[in-house]
Amino acid sequence: MAEVVFSSWGGKVIDNRQGGEPEAAAFKLPGNYLEEGKVGAFMGWDGVIVLDKDIDIVTMAAEYMKRVQEKYCCAKCTPGKRGTRVMMDTLARILAGHGEESDLDILTGLSDLLDNCKCTLCMTAARPVLDTVKYFRDDYLAFLRGERKSKQAKSYRDKLTAPCMDRCPAHIDIPAYIEEIKDYRHDEALGTIRNRMPIPAVCGRVCPHPCETACRRALIDEPISIMVLKRVAADHELLHIQEPPHKAKESTGKNIMVVGAGPAGLTCAYYLALEGHKVKIIDMLNEPGGTVAVGIPDYRMPRPLLQREADIIADLGVEIEYGVKLGRDVSLRELKEQYDAVFLGTGAFKSKPMGVEGEDMGYNGFSEGGIHYLRKVALNEGMVTPKRVIVVGGGNTAIDCVRVALREGCEDSILVYRRTRKEMPAEYYEVDDAEEENVQFEFLRNPTRLIVEDNTVVGVEVIKMELGEPDDSGRRRPVEVPGSEYIIPCDMVIPAIGQDPDLSYLEDGDYGIEKTRWNSIVTKGGTMMTDDEGVFAGGDCEYGAMTVVLAVGHGHRAARAMHRYLMEGKVYLDEEDAMEDIVNNLGVFDKEENLGIVGGLHREHQPKVDGAERAGNYDEIELAMPESQAVREAERCLRCYRVAMLAVS
């Protein structure tokens, strides 16, 4: 990490221009930008960071405001349109040697005008410029006196972002599609979403929406219902029987194999097909979706909609062959020989062991794991659910298991979790839904052994827990209470404490693919390529069992890197990837920000089937949000755009 010369980032001034013992900075900026050169300085919504003392900060401020005004200002409000234009022209006049000292007062005075903008783009773009006027005034005066000429950096790289966009692993332009929904332009909204995510009907239902944790609206009342608004756009297309307008480019003659028709694989195939590559997907299941299809019940994610998403991708010319498993029906070596590149999106279908006595003995009534139970039920593979079931775990899969068990005829569906409800990694609303459906919870309990009669599970011994000091996850560590063991009777035990990737398909040869200690695939430099040239990986098999939207982000980035590899013969990060990573490392959302505006406009909620009514079937629980209601929700968006720019020296 390069030494900071000056920074006003986050309101904290670090000034090392006078020499002496340098003051350190907490933020992270790389020393180099790709292969172009050193990172000289960074300007953005939270101030200025200077790493190279020779950077011409006045010229950079002028270039920054020029790009804000000409490239990013929407021109939908007078303060933003006129204010940024005046700033751009004033800075240009100073650079040209025609400025006066009063111009510095003009720049400073524009701050109040820009505070009245329609959105936050222009008002936050003024901040770094005003910081340069305040802290680099001598540099401005040197231009005004004709003592200095403009000195351009080697290059300038800019990026548009927003707190929600930055937190979204797929980096969708969220403010744009929300505004399009507000204006009833649903087709355009869906086009904006599909620029980064090809399965909006899925992610409009089962995305954990990390974007909403970075919604500035939450600082004054409640976050925007970003996920549901995505579904509104997808539902509009479905209800109006419209076909997506996308069209593939001319054929490149390149052939790609994608292993896995889950979110990562479908996404990767979609964007590669758009570029004109011939793509084939193979999947071990007999339908698309991977874990989404067989690990998320239909009451959350109807599989016909998942099939439609896959059909849309197939319409681009993508071939999908089901019932083919890598390592069983075909080897990775064969795929490498037959295709120009391979993407591994094989998911994480291997359940983690509980670590209790008797779980590896093959007893009747002990399930292999939550994901296996859900899969057998989804595929109607003869899974019989008894009257009293215990599910062990606290994540979304565990919650899905206890709720599915009820729908399969279970009378007592019990979830055992070693911490409290507060520490559960499952989405809070999924836990609420389970409670409404009469799932029973045993918190601060941990299984110690299975109770067995005649080779059949009849109960689980558990020990009471209490919470101690926080562990690496930030949650308080559960500690056993000695002598507190007791038995909970049951007919079936389903461990649902996590999944790991099954990478046994790498065992038939030395592919040189590095694996982590969690048995996931290592990729290099953010390009999603493994150590085996031409073999890429993403989603759960690369990161471990995580979220649908993270898999989508992986699939999109991999497709972009694969396209460069196929067309140029090398893998690298381009400007979009590199700036995305830089901004993400800095972080865009400030949870301590004082917005200075009055809230009180509460979040709109989509209709939902009553708990007692829904627990006996697999009909979708959360219903479509009416478009008029969606417009009201979209109107709450603060349109929190930010502009970043980096100077390469």
Read off the amino acid at residue 87.
Answer: M
Q: What is the DSSP letter of 353?
A: P
- Contact status, residue 177 vs residue 171, Cβ threshold 8 Å: no
- The whole-angstrom separation of Cα 365 and Cα 453 is 11
pLDDT given for residue 2 in this prediction: 66
**Class of the 354-497 domain?**
alpha beta
Alpha-carbon dihedral 68, 71, 76, 81, rounded to 10 degrees? 40
Tokens of 407: 């729908």
| Residues 149-174 pLDDT 10s | 999 999 999 999 999 999 999 999 99
Average pLDDT over residues 418-429: 93
The span from the CA of 52 to the CA of 33, in Å, is 13
Q: What tokens were used for 144?
A: 């005004």
Q: What is the pLDDT of residue 22?
A: 79
Matching fold, domains 255-349+501-572 and 354-497? yes
CB 255 within 8 A of CB 207: no
Q: What length is written for the chain?
A: 649
Q: Is pLDDT of 323 > 70?
A: yes
- CATH top-level class of 165-244+588-634: mainly alpha
pLDDT digits (tens, 9 = 90+) for 342-375: 999 999 998 998 888 888 898 999 998 999 999 9
* pLDDT band for position 1 (cuts 50, 70, 90): low
* 8 contact partners, CB below 8 Å, separation of at least 6: 47, 48, 128, 131, 135
Q: What is the pLDDT of residues 57-82, one digit of tens each?
A: 999 999 999 999 999 998 888 888 99
Enter the DSSP assignment of 196: T
Say which residues have a Cβ less than 8 Å from residue 160's Cβ, sequence separation at least 6: 72, 173, 641, 642, 643
- Please name which of 433, 428, 373 lies closest in space to residue 621, comparing C-alpha atoms: 433
Is the domain defined by 6-160 classed in CATH 1.20.1440.230? Answer: yes
**CB within 8 Å of 347: residues ≥ 6 apart:** 260, 262, 264, 290, 291, 501, 539, 540, 541
**What global pTM score does this model have?**
0.94
Each residue of 550-594: pLDDT tens digit?
999 999 999 999 999 999 999 999 999 999 999 999 999 999 999
The DSSP element (H or E) to which 82 belongs, if any, is: helix 78-95
DSSP 488-546: EE-SEEEE-S-EE---GGGTTS-----B-TTS-B--BTTTTB-SSTTEEE-THHHH-S-
3-state secondary structure of 264: helix
Centre a 10 Å sphere on the Cβ of residue 302 and count the other Cβ atoms it contains.
Answer: 17
- Helices 226-239 and 186-194 pack at an angle, to 10 degrees, of 110
What Cα–Cα distance (Å) separates residue 187 from each residue in 191, 194, 235, 468, 543?
Answer: 6, 11, 11, 52, 33
- In this prediction, residues 281-285 reach a mean pLDDT of 97
Q: Where are the alpha helices (DSSP H) in 391-478?
A: 396-407, 428-436
| Whether 162 contacts 642, CB under 8 Å | yes
Residue written as token pair 């979220």:
547
The whole-angstrom separation of Cα 229 and Cα 559 is: 26
DSSP 359-416: TTS--BTB-S-HHHHHHHHHTT--PPP-SEEEEE--SHHHHHHHHHHHHTT-SEEEEE
Average pLDDT, the chain: 94
User: Using one digit for the tens of pLDDT, what is the confidence trace for 218-252?
Assistant: 999 999 999 999 999 999 999 987 788 889 999 99
Asked if the model's pLDDT at residue 19 lies above 80, the reply is no
Q: Return the CATH class of domain 255-349+501-572.
A: alpha beta
**Residue 436 contacts residue 611 (beta carbons within 8 Å):** yes
Beta bridge partners of 366: 493
> Domains of the chain: which residue ranges?
6-160, 165-244+588-634, 255-349+501-572, 354-497
